[in-house]
Structure 1
Amino acid sequence: MYGAASDGEGASDAVPKKIPPASSMPWVRNLRRFIGSGTGLGSEARMELETKRILLDIFKERQQKNAEAGSIPCFYKKKPEEGSISQRVQRLAKYRFLKKQSELLLNADDLDAMWVCLRENCVIDDASGAEKMNYEDFCHIASVCTEQIGSKCRRFFSPSNFMKFEKDESGRIAILPFYLYVMRTETEEEVADTEQAENWFSLTSAQRICDMFLALDKDMNGTLSKQELKEYADGTLTDIFIERAFDEHVRRGKMGGGNAREMDFGSFLDFVLALENKDTPEGLTYLFRCLDLHGRGYLTTADIHSLFRDVHQKWMDGGNYELCIEDVRDEIWDMVKPADPLRITLADLLSCKQGGTVASMLIDVRGFWAHDNRENLLQEEEEPEE
């Protein structure tokens, strides 16, 4: 009996019991239905569920907007912020590009070296005696010039340039017309650069001012301090003029402190424009605000004395002869001939037609030197014409 019972139990244990899946259990279905409806949840759980729904809707909405915006091409890039790393990298890249472009121009020594290479590697035509070269000579001379002068001469030795010149029956061109072509190209570029430099609104002039600003900006923070601006024009401007330029024409920094005041590029443009056009009403107005130490609208003999004192110091530091400040002051009064004998106004400087010269004498030791040596300078200008 015991054996049969044991056999029956062993048989029942050998058959594995089937466990129904969780999803088919009634209590699981009821629990899911209960949670999904949100009923029976606590206030915190309902709030979290509602928050998830709102965030999901916002996410889907933004995805849709981004998909629509992706079809619009990007045509605007935000300028880098002042003083940021991206701005400094941009300025440095521009400076290197301009420097690289300037290095592509041939100077007089380069032209002489090219002429020597042409003559040493050409052949002489027996019939005419002209010095000529075929295309193989042309390529060889290009290699020699590149080794001696640099890659900046390579642009003249292109196949298209060789085809521009008249060839003889042997396919050779004369070296003299080719060399004159190189010289003429360089000369035209130099003349164009000179004309562009005289035009204030040209790219060449803008490049010159930009290079000047970058050279003065020693700490590369995008603005010029008073100490940095003192290096302008080789340091010939007086300290009192630099101080007055900052007081009158430079806005204070965002922090509002006196040390935070520095000159940005826009203010530097106004500064250079006024100094290079002192005889114009606009330039003279800019400078007169700096000369008017007390903001009264006129200059007195004491103002002239204070302004010229720094010029006198730089004059003596340069090893020049001793001069009397009072004599210079009287000379300025004779030049201006003010309506009021005790004061000089902006109108007096404009009407005397020598306002730019007077301003130069009071702010720049080089300007005073030019006035003091005006007769010698005039004679030097007249000598080439004779």
Structure 2
Amino acid sequence: MAEKKPINWIEVLRNYVQNKPQRTAQEIDDETDQLFLKYIDDAKQKEEQDDNSYKKIPKFFQKALLNEHQLNFRVRQEARTRFLHHKTSEILDKEDLEKLWMLLKDNISPPNDGKERINYNSFLTIASMLPIKCRHFFSASTFLKFDRDEYGRIDIIAFFHSIVRKVNLFQTRIQISLYDTIGNGYLREKDLENYIFELIPIFAQLQNLQENFFPFYVITAVRKFFFFLDPKRTGRIYIKDMLTSPILAELYELRQDRFTVEELSQNWFSVQSTQKVYQKYLKLDTDHNGLLKKSELQKYSWGLTNIFIDRVFEECQTFEGEIDYKTFLDFVLAMENKKTPQSLQYFFKILDVYHKGAIDTFVLNMFFRPIVQKLEQKDKYGFNVEDVKDEIFDMAKPSVPHAITLQDLINCGQGDIIVSMLIDAKAFYDYDQRESGNYLDMEEYDYDF
């Protein structure tokens, strides 16, 4: 009996692929979408067969897959990662953008008046000469979004810049989404820490960052995102909120090679700024236990009153009566950005002593009397508590008389001044003397570290 020859599977598969009709990437994507919708529909019909209530009440809760060791979690994560990498191939690269720009320059529409503009016919001609992945930028609705001159032409520079911005935004979205380990469209603190940690070697302005400072840099950077984009402290930041936030743009500015010293000092994410904040924390920590007690935080600024510091420790997370570096960063961000709604929310929580949702006359008295006492210690007299209370109510314009809510502080446009008047003796004195220019000298009163 003759021996059977072993099957050459490589050759069999090669012949199968060669003989099968070739399809474009778009056709494959379309088929994938159709199969996906079919599987969703089949699953829905099965649910309705198992329980008739699904026919009237749709499923509105899906248990999150948080166990990373479950097979379905890993399969879902792998599928999502492959999907994102596939989407990366749809992003225009440098060559695509250069080709696009050359086609725009070569198809300037008449009349020849020295202006770099194209009409709709040229717009469609250019689209037909580009790869498929470029063509969604050349829809009629896109053309109509730009200002047109009397010849119906749009400016090619404005159009090209809009494409570059969209490409950068899409690329950033995919990069961030790769760190969304759960796949629900948001980043947890750990996810965002991983994302920023891997940006450090890439950004030009972070090349001088010492490796032993990496963990503290990451904590400092992440804190700003969570302070402004997660004011309710849910522990998560939605990716769409990150993309539309100026905070992400501020971080990405560090990709630039050239920066002035002043620009770096104003950027929270720069090496100079993060080290400055961390160094101040270390200087305040006089007992070197890695945490700050009330007496240590009090030295942040001479003008801060005892009652304000007490309330900070009552409302913020503490560890045996002391705050850690993350809580300190929230404090610094609130102090440096008093005009923002997130900072006003932070201070309102502290000022709302009785958790009534409003600051009344009694609370104003409670916070302002220590201000007066602190100034009198420095021989600054003549401040009438009743007059100041009236001025604060006039500034806040509360919807309910003598009861200032958080929304009142935000709407009045002077919430930062009101907060400063109630927590900081120096800030109040400088505001009161703004017309005379008789300000307190910080060198005379500031703490010496």
Task: Give the structure with higher Rg (CA).
Answer: 1
What is the TM-score normalised by the length of structure 2? 0.40
Identify, as 1 or 2, the structure richer in helix.
1
What is the TM-score normalised by the length of structure 1? 0.46
